[in-house]
Amino acid sequence: MKNYSSFDILGPIMVGPSSSHTAGAARLGKIGRSIAAEEIRHVTFYLHGSFAATYQGHGTDKALVAGMLGMDPHDPDLRNSFDIAHKKGIGFEFIPINMEDAHPNTVKMAITSITGKETIIIGSSIGGGNIMITEINGISIEFTGQYPTLITKHIDKPGVIARVTTILADYQVNVAFMKVYRQSKGKIASMIVETDEGMPGEIINNINQIPDIKNAVIINPV
């Protein structure tokens, strides 16, 4: 049986009104910003289910934009996120859509960075401010953002995973959870590694130097 922390029960400190519609939405936005990993020019938020039905009343829209600006769910400035984004010249829009079987609180974020790069992320707010990222750029994945998370895009070849985990071991980083995904054999694959310890920047430089690693990013817990 799960043993919760006292601060899972009394907490988090957050901006209201709803842990799933506001705090969770801010975390989804913040994760989106980290995955995009470049300065953001415009975001289109496609909202599904309860997110689509009640986003204005719950401040889901303001929370998503606040997260994209790097704010935490407890930031009192969260409710002013639209103005702050306007001042920074970041554009955003909200479009309700139906994503069929998706969780009722799901958002698809289409992020355009200032270099023109497009990143498309799908994630859900699954209760109590907890979230689950389920898709990045068309690849189905699953991670919660509760742990430091390494996300790679690499070529599906023998030895790539071993080289990554060796680097983690060299830095005394313990792997808590790990999943590997691929579109088809020998093509583009992705690895999600959730770790107990934080990962210093050198790790990402070393991992990015591995042949067959196309791109690797570290997402810190939000």
Partner 1 sequence: MAEFHSGEQLLQLCNEKNLSISQIIIENEMELTGLDREQVVSKMKDNVLVMRQSIKKGLEENIKSVSGMIGGEAKKMRGYFKEHQPVSGNVMADAVSAALAVTEVNAAMGQIVAAPTAGSCGIIPGALLTAAENMKATEEEIINALFVAAGIGNIIAQNATVAGAEGGCQAETGSASAMAAAGIVEMAGGSPEQAIHAAAMTLKNILGLVCDPIAGLVEAPCSKRNALGTANALVSADMALAGIQSIIPFDEVVTTMYKIGRSLPCELRETALGGLAATPTGQRLQKEIFGK
Q: How far is the CB of 217 from partner 1 (least distance, A)?
A: 27
- Min dist CB 79 to partner 1, Å, is 4
Spatial contact of 208 and 215, defined as CB atoms under 8 Å apart: yes
CB of 64 to partner 1, least distance (A): 13
| Residues 6 or more apart whose Cβ sits within 8 Å of residue 16 | 22, 59
Segment near partner 1 (CB under 8 A), from 19-27, 113-121, 178-186, 201-209? 19-27
Shortest spacing between CB 175 and partner 1, in angstroms: 18
Three-state secondary structure call for residue 149: strand
Q: Which is nearer to partner 1, 76 or 201 (CB)?
A: 76
d(CA 103, CA 184): 26
Q: How far is the CB of 111 from partner 1 (least distance, A)?
A: 24
Pairwise CA distance, residues 190 & 179, whole Å: 8
- Dihedral of CA atoms 13, 15, 20, 26 in degrees, nearest 10, equals -100
Q: Which stretch binds partner 1 (CB under 8 A): 52-60, 151-159, 161-169, 213-221?
A: 52-60
Report CA-CA distances (Å) from 13 to 74, 128, 186. 6, 12, 45
Contact window for partner 1 (CB under 8 A) among 70-78, 141-149, 161-169, 199-207: 70-78
Residue 132 sits at φ, ψ, to 5 deg, of: -140, 120
| 96 belongs to the binding site for partner 1 (CB under 8 A) | no
- Is there binding between residue 129 and partner 1 (CB under 8 A)? yes
Q: Which residues bind partner 1 (CB under 8 A)?
A: 1-19, 22-23, 50, 53-54, 56-59, 62, 74, 76, 78-79, 127-129
